[in-house]
């Protein structure tokens, strides 16, 4: 007998709704962060290279990118090293926006699956009489089905969210290193003057 997705979804009962909400939330955060964390939107290569070469003064500052906002802050008098580094940390925290939601999905989805598993097992074990004989084989099958289906769905939601969260965290680390390098170069140029 082949088990298909519709059978799994039907067997998961009421637990499908919070698991579906976790799935939608994880997908939405992943898509939004993948788009938001493009190099072009955070610290364009041309701006980064201009800062490294020390030739940013003629460039038009784009306040839509983190690198552009940092350069704008610097050009408007933010040459204090601590102030510039604090502003850069603020920009890095903007890059991390929403990633905690993926951590929540990774933690909650398997727990919802586990809750469904326990609920299904309770249904199974309450269906026995005092002699250990199942009183209703239909309840027994539904309980086992609920237990296994919610586990499958919970893990199916959590695993992709974990992969996406790990990849996005790594992406933020790379972009943060790029921001740090740009800030250090701006500070070096400030001391050269």
Task: Give, for all 193 residues of the chain, the pLDDT tens digit.
Answer: 455 666 666 666 788 889 899 999 999 999 999 999 988 888 888 888 888 888 777 666 778 889 889 988 888 887 788 989 999 999 999 999 999 999 999 999 999 988 888 887 787 777 655 555 555 556 667 777 777 888 888 999 999 999 999 999 999 999 999 999 999 988 887 665 4
Q: Are residues 115 and 192 in contact, defined by beta-carbon separation less than 8 angstroms?
A: no
Nearest CA among 49, 36, 169 for reference residue 106: 169
Q: Say how many domains are in the chain.
A: 1
Distance CA 42, CA 179 (A): 9
Containing structural domain, residue 50: 5-192
Q: State both tokens at 31.
A: 């898509």
CA distance 171 to 90: 17
Return the residue matching tokens 């992709």.
160
| 8-state DSSP, 43 | S
Q: Could you give the dihedral angle defined by the CA atoms of residues 124, 129, 134 and 140, in that order, rounded to the nearest 10 degrees?
A: -20
Nearest to 8 by CA among 178, 146, 182, 154: 146
């Amino acid at each position: 007998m082949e088990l298909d997705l519709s059978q799994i979804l039907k067997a998961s009962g009421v637990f499908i709704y919070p698991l579906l909400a976790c799935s939608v939330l994880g997908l939405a955060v992943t898509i939004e962060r993948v788009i938001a964390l493009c190099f072009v939107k955070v610290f364009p290569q041309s701006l980064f290279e201009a800062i490294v070469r020390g030739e940013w003064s003629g460039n038009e500052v784009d306040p839509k990118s983190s690198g552009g906002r940092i350069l704008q802050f610097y050009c408007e008098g933010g040459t204090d090293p601590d102030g510039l580094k604090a502003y850069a940390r603020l920009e890095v925290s903007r890059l991390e926006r929403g990633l905690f939601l993926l951590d929540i999905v990774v933690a909650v989805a398997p727990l919802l699956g586990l809750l469904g598993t326990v609920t299904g097992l309770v249904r199974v074990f309450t269906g026995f009489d005092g002699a250990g004989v199942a009183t209703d084989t239909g309840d027994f099958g539904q309980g086992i089905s609920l237990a296994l289906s919610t586990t499958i769905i919970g893990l199916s939601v959590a695993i992709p969210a974990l992969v996406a969260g790990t990849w996005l965290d790594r992406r933020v680390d790379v972009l943060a290193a790029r921001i740090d390098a740009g800030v250090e170069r701006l500070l070096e140029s400030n001391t050269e003057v």
